[in-house]
Amino acid sequence: MFEKSSWIRLPRNVVVGHDVLDDAVEVVADVHLAGRPLVVTSPTPKEVAADGLVAQFEEAGHDPVVTVVEEATFSSVEQVLAAAEEADAGFLVGVGGGKAIDIAKMAADELGVGFVSVPTAASHDGIVSGRGSVPEGDTRHSVSAAPPIAVIADTGVLADAPWELTTAGCADIISNYTAVKDWRLANRLKNVTYSEYSAALAEMTAELLVDSAGSIKPGLEESAWMVVKALVSSGVAMSIAGSSRPASGAEHLFSHQLDRIAPGKALHGHQVGVGTILVEYLHTGENGDWTAVRDALDTLDAPTTADDLGITDEEVVEALTHAHEIRDRYTILGDGISEEAAIEAATRTDVI
């Protein structure tokens, strides 16, 4: 008897383009969000976009409130929950990079209220995903949360953001190659639930981005457009899967471990990009596709070495040998690779 069932939760309005931030009140009305907006943001995105958004809501008589978060932690989520309760917020608006958006997304899910995602950087594919990513002690949780009901991605704001944030987003997309390889492996070896549609979408997204790599340049709204479209597509792949599997494999475990070993040194996307070179090598060997991954990252101006990331060779080796400990997610790393194997992979690929 056929007993399968699944829910695919997706955003309703994805509004991307020039000056679309000015349409925020209209977008919110269109998805029938009501009550006081609580704007969740971090210091720079507050100045770049949230202050203007608040003024817009005020003008429209929405009586908005703002809370500023610094880190993607469960205590930040608690801070937002308290602010929402105090303000009796009707819906949440996350304005910023991946951390502010993740916190707002998880808090809105907990409160059972609507959530609007306003990325100020094309730096990560959590913009529309139904996941939150939170470190806690030795581990890192991939938390299920409702995806945003609406996304407002202003290409002017994204193109004006520091260029390295955009190259980080590109690398986060390129990591789909190894994430999907790990997912297929886990399905074959561990019977992990797998969706060919989601995997195909994640891979195609990476492929399209790499094909346009030569035309992705700093300061161009067309480039911000291409990258944010890819980030949306990758987030949709996660929503179809009901997990971050299509966009997060061993290369992400490597990055999450680096966040513990060398905190604050490099952006999430840049770390996963270097992780993708290493993990592609582990999957396909010396003559495998890791050179294509490295060349794509290089074309996009994203880091390809430990030096580029500002970390030491030892930190790379430590992160790679301990990556499998981050969470119970089967990947090419299995139950861990030896220090010799990690040094070999990192040396052969010129990461160290």
Ligand X SMILES: O=C(CO)COP(=O)(O)O
Question: Which stretches of the chain bind Zn ion, using CB under 5 A?
Answer: 172
For 39, 40, 286, 349, the CA distances from 343, given in Å and listed in that order, are 45, 42, 14, 10
Are the CB atoms for 236 and 305 separated by under 8 Å? no
Give the distance between the most distant pair of CA atoms in the chain. 63
Q: Give me the amino acid identity at 64.
A: P
Q: Where are the alpha helices (DSSP H) in 3-151?
A: 24-30, 43-45, 51-59, 74-87, 98-111
* Structure token digits, residue 279: 């993990």
d(CA 98, CA 86): 25
Residues within window 113-132 making contact with ligand X, judged by CB under 6 A: 125, 131
CB of 204 to Zn ion, least distance (A): 17
Q: Name which of ligand X, ligand NAI, Zn ion, none residue 321 binds, using a CB cut-off of 5 to 8 Å depending on partner kind.
A: none
Contact pick of 90, 94, 132, 246 for ligand NAI (by CB under 6 A): 132
Among residues 67, 76, 117, 120, the one that binds ligand NAI under rule CB under 6 A: 120
Question: x/- contact string, 206-235, with ligand X (CB under 6 A)?
Answer: ------------------------------
Q: Which of 207, 40, 55, 65 has its CA nearest to residue 120?
A: 40
List the structure tokens of 273: 């990009």
- Whether the CB-CB separation of 76 and 84 falls below 8 Å is answered with no
State the nearest-atom distance from the C-beta of 259 to ligand NAI, in Å: 8
Question: Phi then psi for 81, rounded to 5 degrees?
Answer: -60, -40
Q: Is 202 helix (H, G, I), strand (E, B) or coil?
A: helix
Q: Interface residues for ligand X in 162-201 (CB under 6 A)?
A: 172
Residue 102 binding ligand X, by CB under 6 A: no
- Please report how close the Cβ of residue 176 comes to ligand X at its closest, in angstroms: 8
Per rule CB under 6 A, is residue 247 in the interface with ligand X? Answer: yes
If one counts every other C-beta atom within 10 angstroms of the C-beta of residue 189, the result is 10
Q: Does 99 bind ligand X (CB under 6 A)?
A: no
Q: Which residues are annotated as a binding site for glycerol?
A: 125, 172, 252, 268
Contact residues toward ligand X (CB under 6 A) are 125, 131, 133, 140, 142, 172, 244, 247-248, 252
Positions touching ligand NAI (CB under 6 A) are: 42, 44-45, 48, 72, 96-100, 102, 120-121, 123-126, 129, 131-133, 157, 161-162, 165, 168, 172, 238, 244, 267-269
